[in-house]
Amino acid sequence: MARILDETEGFIKIVIDNSTGTICGASIIGPRATELIGIVSCAVQSRMPLQQFKTTIIPHPSLSEAIIETVR
């Protein structure tokens, strides 16, 4: 999807608390990063377990798919 925007570089890092299995935060660099971080922000705020986050339904095709692919 990023190639559609003529962007070929970017970075997504999801931070997980290994003791609880919950998502603590993320770093996103690339096209529309400010839109993508909202998905992770909701997961952090709700203390979502990684296993639940992995099964979150994300629109296809979209840049936000990259977030779920990062944790799979």
- Active site residue ranges: 60
DSSP state of 30: S
Cα–Cα distance, 13 to 67 (Å, whole number): 9
Buried b / exposed e along 15-53 (16+ C-beta atoms within 10 A): ebeeeeebbeebebebbbeeebbebbeebbeeebebeeb
